[in-house]
Chain A
Amino acid sequence: MPSAPVRVILPGMLRDLVGGVAEIEVESPSDSQTVAELLDRAFSGHRILDGKVRDERGQIRRHVKVFVNGEDATRGEGVGAPVPAGARVHIINAVSGG
Chain B
Amino acid sequence: MTETIVAIGTRKGLWIARSTDRREWTLEGPHFLMSEVASVAVDTREGRSTVLAGVKSWHWGPTVQVSTDGGRSWTESAERALSFPSDTDTALERVWQLTPDPNDADVVWAGVEPHALFRSTDRGDSYELVRGLWDHPHRPTWEPGFGGGAVHTVLPEAGHPENLLVAMSTGGVYRSGDGGKTWAPSNPGIRAGFMPDNEYPEYGQCVHKVARGQGEGELFAQNHNGVYRSHDNGASWDSIADGLPTDFGFTVLAHPRRAGVVWVVPVADSGERIPPGAQLQVQRSEDAGATWRQQAIGLPDHSYTCVLRDAASLDAADPVGVYLGTRNGDVFASADEGESFHRIATQLPDVLVVRAAQLA
**Do A and B originate from a single complex?**
yes
Chain A residues proximal to chain B, CB less than 8 Å? 13-14, 47-48, 50-53, 55-57, 59, 61, 63-64, 93-94, 96-97
Q: How far is the CB of A59 from chain B (nearest CB, A)?
A: 7
Asked if B61 is at the interface of the complex by the 8 Å CB criterion, the answer is yes
| A94-B78 in contact (CB<8A) | no
Which one of A13, A47, A57, A96 contacts B60 once the chains associate, using CB atoms below 8 Å?
A13
CB neighbours (8 Å) of B60 from chain A are 13-14, 51-53, 61, 64, 93
CB neighbours (8 Å) of A14 from chain B are 60
CB neighbours (8 Å) of A61 from chain B are 59-61
Given contacts A47-B78, A48-B76, A55-B92, contact A63 B84 (CB under 8 A): no
Q: How many angstroms from the CA of A47 to the CA of B90 in the assembled complex?
A: 20
Asked if B317 is at the interface of the complex by the 8 Å CB criterion, the answer is no
Q: How many angstroms from the CA of A48 to the CA of B79 in the assembled complex?
A: 6
Q: How many angstroms from the CA of A52 to the CA of B86 in the assembled complex?
A: 17
Q: Which residue on B lies nearest to A64, using beta carbons?
A: B59
Q: Which of B68-111 contact A (CB under 8 A)?
A: 76-80, 83-84, 86, 89-92
- The CB with the most chain A CB atoms within 10 A, among B63, B78, B83, B84, is that of B78
| A51-B91 in contact (CB<8A) | no
Asked if B345 is at the interface of the complex by the 8 Å CB criterion, the answer is no
Q: Provide 12 A-B residue pairs closer than 8 Å at the C-beta atoms, listed in order of the A residue.
A: A13-B60, A48-B76, A51-B79, A52-B60, A55-B91, A57-B86, A61-B60, A61-B61, A63-B59, A64-B60, A93-B59, A94-B59
CB neighbours (8 Å) of B59 from chain A are 13, 52, 61, 63-64, 93-94, 96-97
Q: 10 nearest interchain CB pairs? A: A55-B91, A52-B60, A56-B83, A93-B59, A47-B78, A48-B78, A51-B80, A97-B58, A63-B59, A61-B61
Across the A-B interface, how many residue pairs have beta carbons closer than 8 Å? 50
Known A55-B92, A56-B84, A61-B59; 4 more pairs at CB < 8 Å: A47-B78, A53-B60, A93-B59, A97-B34
CB neighbours (8 Å) of B92 from chain A are 55-56
| A57-B91 in contact (CB<8A) | yes
Q: How many angstroms from the CA of A51 to the CA of B76 in the assembled complex?
A: 11
Count residues of chain B with CB under 8 A from any CB of chain A: 19
| A56-B91 in contact (CB<8A) | yes
CB neighbours (8 Å) of A97 from chain B are 34, 58-59
Given contacts A55-B91, A57-B89, contact A47 B58 (CB under 8 A): no
Given contacts A57-B89, A57-B90, A59-B91, contact A52 B61 (CB under 8 A): yes
CB neighbours (8 Å) of B57 from chain A are 52
Q: Which residue on B lies nearest to A97, using beta carbons?
A: B58
CB neighbours (8 Å) of B78 from chain A are 47-48
Q: Which residue on B lies nearest to A18, using beta carbons?
A: B78
Q: How many angstroms from the CA of A52 to the CA of B62 in the assembled complex?
A: 8
Given contacts A51-B63, A56-B92, contact A63 B79 (CB under 8 A): no
Q: Which residue on A lies nearest to B83, using beta carbons?
A: A56
CB neighbours (8 Å) of A51 from chain B are 60-61, 63, 79-80, 83
Q: How many angstroms from the CA of A55 to the CA of B34 in the assembled complex?
A: 20
- The CB with the most chain A CB atoms within 10 A, among B57, B61, B84, B92, is that of B61
Q: How many angstroms from the CA of A50 to the CA of B60 in the assembled complex?
A: 10
Q: How far is the CB of B224 from chain A (nearest CB, A)?
A: 26
Q: Which residue on B lies nearest to A47, using beta carbons?
A: B78
Q: Which residue on B lies nearest to A58, using beta carbons?
A: B86
Q: Which residue on B lies nearest to A65, using beta carbons?
A: B59
CB neighbours (8 Å) of A48 from chain B are 76-78
CB neighbours (8 Å) of B89 from chain A are 57
CB neighbours (8 Å) of B34 from chain A are 97
Given contacts A56-B86, A56-B92, A57-B89, contact A47 B61 (CB under 8 A): no
Chain B, 228-258, contact with A by CB distance < 8 Å: what is the 0/1 string? 0000000000000000000000000000000
Q: How many angstroms from the CA of A50 to the CA of B61 in the assembled complex?
A: 11
